[in-house]
Amino acid sequence: MTQPSWQSVFSIVLASARMRFLTITRYPGQLVLDTFIPIVFAAMPILLGRAGGGESAAEMFQRNTGTANYVGYLLIGSSVFTIVSFAFWHLAYWLRWEQESGTLEALYLAPVHRIWVAAGTALYSCGRGLFAALTAYFLGALILRFNPLQGELGLALLFILVGFIPLYGMTLLYGAVILKVKEANALVNLMQWGVSFLMGIFFPITIFPPLLKIIALLFPPTWMTNGVRSALLGIGFFLGEWYLDLAVLWGFMLIAPLFGYWVFNHVEINVRRNEGVGQF
């Protein structure tokens, strides 16, 4: 028996991420298909914009969002959304998969908290989402003809990486629901539409009525999307400066995983008190 330490826990996170990657390589084609999701997703409103807005589409857009590059704006929205949506899908899918295959019980036999295994899954999801988002962004820029190398790419990446941690915290919350209700699809679908709406993938949330705006601002992916857009297209940060927006995300980063962990733990105890995690 070996002593648990922070290194060994970190090593478990990596091993869990690696395990997911190994698994996905046994389903070839998936990773390539990933890339097209954000492009196809963004293509619809872009084409709609071209059809409906005509020559003045860019001007109209400039007035409402602060950039005339609506193609970039929409593509960034759908790329960031891919990362967010992947995080939900992957965590949900992972939990359901473990539940159905019986390996969830095997995980509960190991002397490590499930959130670290989930963190491995999140890391995997982050890698896969980032890969899809980046390729989609550059490939999309090539297809839809705009310059992807504008603004501050590094800062955009920072917003994504910092934003990912509260995102993972949120997926834990929702993993807790799956642990109990043992269903994922309807929940993810619902989440997905709600999330895409709130984080403003295709429009600025400034057009929301006040109450909806507040709800949207309580939601980390909204800050993530706006941060990336501002870094790349210069549309303006919510709080004026990049570091203020980043600080808010940082705050979410501290709170969301803790809250997610707390809820997950409670549901877990409830499940273990009754039927156990073996059921699906």
Ligand X SMILES: Nc1ncnc2c1ncn2[C@@H]1O[C@H](COP(=O)(O)OP(=O)(O)OP(=O)(O)O)[C@@H](O)[C@H]1O
For ligand X, the binding residues (CB under 6 A) are: 275, 279
Residues 85-124 as x/- pattern, contact with other proteins by CB under 8 A:
----------------xxx-xxxxxxxxx-xxx-------
Q: For the CB of residue 279, give the shortest distance to ligand X in the complex, in Å.
A: 6
Cβ contact 31:128 at 8 Å: yes
Interaction of residue 272 with other proteins, rule CB under 8 A: yes
Nearer residue to other proteins within complex by CB, 145 or 273: 273
Q: Which is nearer to ligand X, 251 or 278 (CB)?
A: 278
Cβ atoms of 74 and 33 within 8 Å: the answer is no
* DSSP for residue 56: G
Residue 109 near which of other proteins, ligand X, none (CB within 5-8 Å, type-dependent): other proteins
Handedness of CA 89, 79, 137, 119 (dihedral sign): negative
> Quick check: helix, strand or coil at residue 5?
coil
Percent helix, strand and coil across the chain, each to the nearest 5: 80, 0, 20
The dihedrals phi and psi of 141, each to the nearest 5 degrees, come to -60, -40
Question: Nearest residue by C-beta to ligand X?
Answer: 275
- Rounded-to-integer distance, Cα 196 and Cα 85, Å: 8
Residue placing its CB nearer to ligand X in the complex, 59 or 275: 275
Using CB distances below 5 to 8 A depending on partner kind, what does residue 52 bind out of ligand X, other proteins, none? Answer: none
Q: Does 145 bind other proteins (CB under 8 A)?
A: no
Neighbours of 219 (CB within 10 A): 22
> Does residue 29 belong to the site contacting other proteins (CB under 8 A)?
no
**Which positions lie near other proteins, rule CB under 8 A?**
1-6, 8-9, 11-12, 15-16, 19, 22-23, 26-27, 101-103, 105-113, 115-117, 269, 272-278
